Chain A
């Protein structure tokens, strides 16, 4: 999509969160590794009301990134609440008791900043990137959005239509649609398989009062993390946050444990006829949850199989046999259970052959493990991703916020070092344990005959 902008909270962003943020930035950020060097470590503090605050001094630009992560997302929704986390996210931009719709956009863009939000399974995030002089405005505006949104019934009705359009876009885009459906197959009857955008009946049932109650239930300081990164002074930031966020009373919110998915058994297959001529194949497996350190090994495994340009499957299927025009594999960690997904673009006639080769390569990895060169390559890619994350204040802020929300900041900071210690045998064993050739989900998009 070459749209000038994607709209806030779009499904595209949701997918970005799934495959870039959760899968990678979340696990593979890790400042403080050997490569970082110049950056001081982040400061983490907890306010008396439970709000977690992380401040990172980062002087590459005069831009401050402020990220708010809230522990609410699709996995918190009951079946009759599907889509409410995302609807909530949209409504926080539509006005508060202090200002009306459009205020945020004018305020943030009026100082040359940017703002957007994403809804995912374990969290909802909001960010503002602003010139450093406007740091307090960003911190204040995010607090107003979180705690003082008005949920005007007319705005609720209008925004519902906008979200229905967003659903049309998701359906039209095969890249996002196939991922969405794969989640539904890998996490059958589990919130991680629910649609982020909800369903027509649940969305039509959402009223101003219902969304307000949802806000009250989850938007509590003890269920939030605020990250401020940029050319900032910790004391000054803490002063602002105390003044603006410190006065919000805690609500006694107790976190809900993430639902463990039912194991995937057998090969779940699905073929979908689509209007596009480009065929697509996606395979999915259940994988370790965020707090399981086996996830580190799965990160290396997926990089070696199809997560890099010179990965095994890319070389064999794209360069040697020329059966796919693209192939990629990634691990996305979530609190209740992760997912490994493999996606390829190919011609419909090659679907079976490509699936067969993928299974062959998995079998080879399960028998012999990776080569030493492959192991090193996967580690260096993780190091490099961390290094590129440190280029910008928002890259770091986002990685920290995801880690704090779904894992721990410390686990994140030690990530690159831990990866370096993983052996080839461990990677082989992870292939045996997590990439079953008998239990996986498989979906194909094919052109209509």
Chain B
């Protein structure tokens, strides 16, 4: 579940350099037992006490995102999130960010494929006030008509800008081809045509369907007391009437096909992307395919990096991605190179995808890939913000944060034969998109 912070205005504003760079970060904290509480109305509250630093991270997550959208309302989840953080019945958007600033923190809202999030951070002495602010945004948004148009214009520009970025343009094209009418086909930003249709009434209807206790998870990590957080959450959210989350849009993705498309994009680099469908979060092949993806392009010791970049000098950027998805996942191999190298690079990338199907990986490669994969996971979970994100997103996905323990065990158990079988199943048929600068 790589976090994609697309479309979040507050983050796009990139205000200041104060946010610590979101580097890969390291392990399970020594602190760290998680308490799970189910409120009477069905809302879940997860708290992890971590006294290391005087800070707190809050994630209010919803079963809402592209997975619940259709082509007609593509982007509505992210649009709604941008609206809720831009004004409540008590204060406007400027006052919201100002209150957060005064707590030494930040608050934001955006939607992704499998969830929508209101993430917030603060100095821990303000944990209660920040929780109040998160609840206010979630429960009392004003969704004012005037702001509606400004946000729609902003989103239209974001969509325009994606088309100007070679990698984003190629990625969007590959996803659209891979997923067809399945909602993962579009970016959380949505589609130009669907955004134009969205009015306040549509946003309000979407809000009422999704902002219900059965769709909401609150996760808090930091220098806090679990019992105090639960009591405050009960006070803030306990009065909501019970209702469960709506069902997602289950339109299946089309069958994989071998196809190739070429786009013209601005810039000096050519982007080559190859990919297709991959296991979902709960598929038994997930761990094997994650290991395969790590061996191919998971880090500096991966085959793409050592063969294509270090030995053949064909790329500066090259990697493989296989994010965890609740529905059908995707695998992606990517490479950015000088236009003069593009034919050679494409052939070399394809050869890597074929070789892993043809030959079993070595024991040493398997060992390094597993350590690297699990190390990345541990590193990514060091900050409170990421801990809150993992707890909330896995709960929203329906597997709970305990999923990670099972996943780690599954990764450890993967054999070379598992990797080869998963590669044959998922890499035999891939689509290619080449985005190249105009001549």
Contacts and interface: CB of A to CB of B under 8 A. Distances in A.
Nearest to B370: A112
A314 B161 contact: no
A102 B301 contact: yes
Interface in B1-32: 2, 4, 9-10, 12-21, 23-31
A384 interface: yes
A3 interface: yes
A278 B161 contact: yes
Contact of A105 (B157, B297, B305): B305
A44 B366 CA distance: 40
B403 interface: no
Given A3-B167, A278-B164, A392-B383, A314 B301 contact: no
Interface stretch (B38-46, B94-102, B207-215, B280-288): B94-102
Interface of A: 1-8, 10, 16, 19-21, 23-25, 28, 35-38, 58-63, 94, 101-102, 104-106, 108-115, 129, 131, 158-159, 161-162, 164-166, 168-169, 171-172, 231, 274-278, 303, 306-311, 314-315, 318-320, 322, 325-330, 345, 347, 376-377, 380-381, 383-385, 387-395
B78 interface: no
B144 to A, nearest CB: 13
Interface in B23-82: 23-31, 50-55
A381 to B, nearest CB: 6
Contacts of A277: 160-161, 164
Contacts of B246: none
Nearest to B301: A105
B104 A387 contact: yes
Nearest to B25: A392
22 contacts: A3-B167, A23-B17, A61-B30, A61-B378, A106-B368, A111-B375, A112-B375, A129-B25, A129-B26, A162-B316, A165-B316, A165-B338, A168-B268, A169-B336, A171-B267, A275-B164, A275-B266, A325-B154, A380-B102, A385-B20, A392-B26, A394-B23
B120 interface: no
Interface in B269-304: 269, 297-301
Contacts of A389: 20
Given A112-B375, A114-B375, A381 B18 contact: yes
A395 B26 CA distance: 11
Q: Which 6 pairs of residues, A with B, have the shortest CB-CB distance?
A: A112-B375, A384-B104, A275-B266, A63-B26, A165-B316, A310-B98
Contact of A172 (B94, B157, B166, B315): B166
A304 B375 CA distance: 39
B25 A1 contact: no
A164 B309 CA distance: 12
A325 B9 contact: yes
Contacts of B305: 105
Given A60-B29, A172-B166, A308-B16, A112 B374 contact: yes
A102 B27 CA distance: 24
Contact of A330 (B16, B101, B105): B16
Given A380-B123, A388-B55, A112 B269 contact: no
Given A28-B18, A307-B16, 12 more contacts: A2-B168, A94-B310, A112-B376, A114-B375, A172-B266, A172-B268, A276-B165, A308-B18, A310-B97, A319-B93, A388-B20, A392-B20
Given A277-B164, A391-B53, A20 B17 contact: yes
Interface of B: 2, 4, 9-10, 12-21, 23-31, 50-55, 93-94, 97-98, 100-106, 121-123, 150, 154, 157, 160-161, 164-168, 171, 266-269, 297-301, 305-306, 309-311, 313, 315-317, 319-321, 334, 336-338, 367-368, 371-372, 374-376, 378-379, 382-384
Given A109-B375, A168-B338, A388-B121, A102 B164 contact: no
Contact of A387 (B123, B154, B306): B123
A171 B104 CA distance: 35
A392 B101 CA distance: 22
Contact of A61 (B15, B26, B102, B266): B26
A47 B430 CA distance: 56
A110 B368 contact: yes
Given A307-B16, A319-B93, A60 B372 contact: no
A384 B297 CA distance: 36
Contacts of B14: 326, 328
Contacts of A303: 16, 18
Contacts of B154: 325
A63 B31 CA distance: 14
B12 A326 contact: yes
A383 B53 CA distance: 12
B72 to A, nearest CB: 26
